[in-house]
Amino acid sequence: MRVFLFATLVSLTVASAWAGTIGATQGDPFEHEGRIVGGEDTTIAAHPYQVSLQTKSGSHFCGGSLLDNETVVTAAHCLVGRKATKVFVRLGSTLYNEGGILVGVRNLTYNENYSSQTMENDVGILKLAEKVQETADIRYVELAKETPATGTTAVVTGWGAKCYFWCMTLPKVLQEVYVSIVDWRTCGSDAFKYGDIIYKSMVCAYEKKKDACQGDSGGPLVVGTNTLVGIVSWGYACASDGLPGVYSDVPNLREWIVEASKILQ
């Protein structure tokens, strides 16, 4: 869909260059999806919490993070309109299309306050149809309790597009890119181009010419070796100057994640 709206994005980009910021009315719904550009090949052993959400036919559509032996956290927009019985999760593989184990999903839900217009509270969880144990390539991630300070180094991983527009296929090998945390207030300030469309349930991450891209939605933004601080949510284009990747802020949404994980059967 992004390819067919190239002219629209060009217009948006030119307008934002003149205006300095991107307002909510200038954005298009197709822009509100997760966005890895400028990354490198990595292995699942380096990021064993990463999972791939797939259709019954094996197509990767979003990323996710394994919380415990039966719970995966992802973005709400990855789950809207989907039935649990038609979603599968591949764990423990560097390649999204083979290896590791493929497990069905028995139930799913997303934050009741999620807004597809503002992208606030973009978080959801899935319950696996069978429990999985930790191995060298499958590990549970920890939920951050506090948002890291602006400038903190983090890593985002996924199988999303490696560039914008001209990349027609997803990489089969897991990608990683290191970025710097930008707190939500700074992300919405004059230091960047988003303006007042960044909210408290969000956190940003930025590095010139590096970003998440289409297909990375729902995937992990991690600090240290195992602390989940963000969930790939949305952004304008990929790796664009002055436009950080926008993530759901895990500390802000932690209470919902913990409670929903307990309630969902």
Tell me which residues are annotated as active site.
Answer: 77, 122, 217
Residue 7 phi/psi, 5° resolution? -60, -40
Other CB atoms within a 10 A radius of the CB of residue 6 amount to 11
The alpha carbon dihedral of 179, 175, 217, 239 has a sign of positive
Closest CA to 52 of 44, 68, 64: 64
| Residue 177 to residue 131: CA distance in whole angstroms | 30
Q: What is the DSSP letter of 140?
A: P
C-alpha to C-alpha distances, 4 to 1, 22, 62, 163, 166, nearest whole angstrom: 6, 21, 21, 16, 11
Closest CA to 245 of 221, 222, 224: 221
Closest CA to 230 of 171, 156, 162, 133: 156
**DSSP helix/strand/coil, 126:** strand
C-beta separation of 60 from 54 below 8 A: yes
| Residue 28 to residue 10: CA distance in whole angstroms | 12
* CA Rg value for the chain: 17
Q: What is the DSSP letter of 153?
A: E
